[in-house]
Amino acid sequence: MKKFRKLLALGLAAVMTMSVAVGASAESATETAAENPVAGKKVAYVMLLPSATIFQMWKDSCQNLCDALDVDFDFFFCDGDFNKWQDTIRTCASAGYDGLLVSHGNQDGSYVFLKEIHDEYPDMKIVTFDTQFYTDGEYQKIEGITQMFQQDKSLVTVLLDEMIAQKEARGEEGPARLIKVWRGPNFNSPFDRREVGWEEYEEAGKIETVGEVQPLQDSVDSANTVTAAYLQSIKREDVDGIIAYYDLYGQGVYNAILENDNMNGTNGDALPMASVDIDPVDITNMQTRPDIWTAAGTTDWTMNGEIGMRVLMLEMADEYDKILDPATGDTGVDVIEVPGTAILAKNLKEDSTVETLGEIAGETYGNLDYLSETDWMPKDLIH
């Protein structure tokens, strides 16, 4: 009997110990959930433009952050079709996504559409990249939606400065005579914002627009075709350089210059070019022919997606006060800008990659201080 009582006591003690352990485990799980309020959420990156290397880099940094925070992540590229972009966003909203990071909506229709989505699905959080809100003749805001941009104007002006410096180094006077490669006004928000810098320099007499080249599609081949045709119509001595508003166009421009003996250095000096944004192909071209592809104005595309996704996470956690503007250092803002820099071909090393550009780009590239953070999402979470 004593033996039975002893066994019973031991059994009860074991049960109590297990109960305490289970209780502690449940309490620990509750604390973990509290520490990470976005665990189990579902988000997506919806890009208007076709897939390109820099946007894959953006997508990858979003994915890495979501994986670290136990958030389900999807991505969609919409081939430059604004209707497809709208349909994809609406489908995600109706499917119950908790947050969307949407990119490159055009200036004319994005405000009305996204306001409608925001009003219809108020619990779904939205962060936009390179998307301006404009209607009724003025810029608008949508309460609760954070807008993220590169400092687009400066991404062009740093390239214009380099073209002007190259002309001055040759001892030549007058404005830099340049060709602009873009898709024209109102095609997308970043191009319109970059155009502001071009127009300021032109009005100040620093540059002269020799001509414009407009690819018919967002592709290397289209940019190559239209640029090659344009170069046949001009003389090398009448132009000082080409600026591409997008590096995908820049790759087509580079090929067009290489294919033209009057522009590639075979007959006289090579025609220099520069582009906005940068990817591994651009770096290789800049290393191979630094006399042609002379510079790129860019931000860190290995980190840009993470910057935007962190903002979306903070919105979903209702921690708007933690949203950081990298350009000013202010928090609790609804517009943020990522500072850019000029990557000069002459400064590249033989082993330079997109991931190591910080070695030559200075503090504006790969700067972890540009990341919004909170206790459950520290700056070094995936670094």
Report pLDDT digits (tens) over 163-192. Answer: 999 999 999 999 999 999 999 998 888 899
**Does the structure show a pLDDT above 80 at 156?**
yes
| Residue found under tokens 């999402």 | 377
**Does the structure show a pLDDT above 50 at 216?**
yes
Positive/negative CA dihedral, 212, 250, 82, 124: negative
Interval 139-153: pLDDT, tens: 899 999 999 999 899
Interval 303-353: pLDDT, tens: 999 999 999 999 999 999 999 999 999 999 999 999 888 999 999 999 998
pLDDT band at 374 (very low <50, low <70, confident <90, very high): very high
Q: What are the residues facing 164 on neighbouring strands?
A: none
**Does the structure show a pLDDT above 70 at 13?**
no
Number of C-beta neighbours around residue 317 at 10 A: 17
> Quick one: which of 299, 227, 301 has its CA closest to 52?
301
pLDDT band at 134 (very low <50, low <70, confident <90, very high): confident
SS3 state at 141: coil
**Does the structure show a pLDDT above 50 at 32?**
no
How far apart are alpha carbons 207 and 204 in whole angstroms?
A: 8
Sheet containing strand 273-276, edge to edge, reads 207-213, 176-181, 241-244, 273-276, 293-298, 341-344
For the chain, the residue count is: 383
Interval 193-214: pLDDT, tens: 899 999 999 999 999 999 999 9
- The strand pair at 99-103 and 42-47 is best described as parallel
pLDDT at res. 145:
97
pLDDT at res. 108:
77
303's enclosing H/E stretch is: helix 301-316
Which whole-number Å values give the CA distances from 366 to 291, 304, 369, in the listed order?
Answer: 27, 9, 9
pLDDT at res. 186:
83
| Residue found under tokens 């081949």 | 221
Domains parsed from the chain with CATH numbers: 42-151+301-370 (3.40.50.2300), 153-298 (3.40.50.2300)
> Quick one: which of 104, 142, 139, 144 has its CA closest to 123?
144
Mean pLDDT across the chain:
90
Vertex 43: Cα angle to 42 and 44 (nearest 5):
140
Interval 225-262: pLDDT, tens: 999 999 999 999 999 999 999 999 999 999 999 999 99
**Chain centroid to CA 140:** 22
At CB < 8 A and 24+ separation, what contacts does 2-5 make?
none
> Quick one: which of 180, 43, 182, 154 has its CA closest to 102?
43
Contacts of 289 (CB under 8 A, 6+ apart): 254, 258, 270
Query: What's the DSSP call for residue 339?
Result: -
pLDDT band at 10 (very low <50, low <70, confident <90, very high): very low
Positive/negative CA dihedral, 278, 279, 282, 288: positive
How far apart are alpha carbons 53 and 78 in whole angstroms?
A: 15
**Does the structure show a pLDDT above 60 at 15?**
no
SS3 state at 109: coil
SS3 state at 64: helix
Positive/negative CA dihedral, 306, 347, 287, 232: positive
How far apart are alpha carbons 122 and 315 in whole angstroms?
A: 12
